Amino acid sequence: MKIFLTGGTGFIGKNLVDFLSGHEVWCLVRSREKYEKIKREFTIPVYGDLINPDWKMPEVDIVIHMAGLIRGRVKDYYGVNGGGTRNLVEKAKNLKTLKKFIYVSSQAASGCGTLENPKKESDPESPVSDYGKSKLLGEKFVKESGLPYLVLRPVAVYGPGDRDVFFAFRMVNSGIVFLPSGKRFVNLVDVRDVCGAIVKAVESDIVGETFFVAYPEITTYVGFVKTIAEKMRKKILIVKIPEWLIFAGSFFAAIFAFLLRKPALLNLQKVTEINSKYWVVSAEKLTKLLGYKPQYSLERGVSETVDWYIARKWL
């Protein structure tokens, strides 16, 4: 099939490209330099971006929209994740061959669940950050477009090539791990399971549905870093940080980011998400309806990710 892909140069996208090797993949990229990082025999570049849609979309069978803004100014979240998605939807409406528009959203669009009632796709959305609200806005544009669609909501993603969750591996490697006080419950998912679910979405005849993409096991921040430590054979000291101190840290990080004119890795939005205690979902619909069963348990995913980091001297 012919596939149009956005976000191919991002963490998930770089992994996904190889999963799509049996197809003709058109990649929306902003520069030749970025394209060279994902170039394959079966890929074709389209130069442009979502905010300024002055480029031509080729006739394709499937659109996979993954591009988005993870951190930045509040207005930019809505401009990229909301407005950018709307621009892409409008282009997709003109396609004569389109079979499906797959929007890779985020668990952040749905908000938190509880241990007794992990979040389900049918539950009302309650995002706690502008990032989550902007991804939900993107979902709205897709669902109201009249296009045949699927929405995928990955939970926290880790795996080979990741640079965000990588900070947890670096802390374990140092021997001292800083975590927020109290328990935080989460579902996690290996990037290769996200890619597997996207491929399943491409191949499936199902449309008009939303799916969480998660390994079904619920863990905690402590459980996650202890699994990393076990695989790295490291002894660690876990230091719990009060919530007020995390908020203070985000304030100073925002000041430095403003002075450096770069997005802060830790900002108030991210702290609000970090301090939410139950980022837990039900992955039942993914398996029963879409027919994809995640393959990477926490132990397997962490072990292979550690090996990947060590082989490339990241650790």
Per-residue tokens: 239: 């230091």
pLDDT at 242: 82
Homologous superfamily (CATH) of 2-162+188-214+281-296 is NAD(P)-binding Rossmann-like Domain (3.40.50.720)
pLDDT at 129 over 50: yes
Averaged pLDDT score across all residues of the chain: 92
Top-confidence residue, 243 or 74: 74
Read off the pLDDT of each residue in 191-197 and give the average, rounded to a whole number. Answer: 98
User: CA 91, 95, 101, 104: dihedral to nearest 10 degrees?
Assistant: -40
pLDDT at 72: 81
Read off the pLDDT of each residue in 216-242 and give the average, rounded to a whole number. Answer: 95
Read off the pLDDT of each residue in 57-78 and give the average, rounded to a whole number. Answer: 93
pLDDT at 249 over 60: no
Lowest mean pLDDT among 67-71, 130-134, 157-161, 189-193: 67-71
Partners of 3 in beta bridges: 25, 62
**Pairing outcome for strands 176-180 and 209-213:** unpaired
- Pair 290, 193: CB distance under 8 Å: no
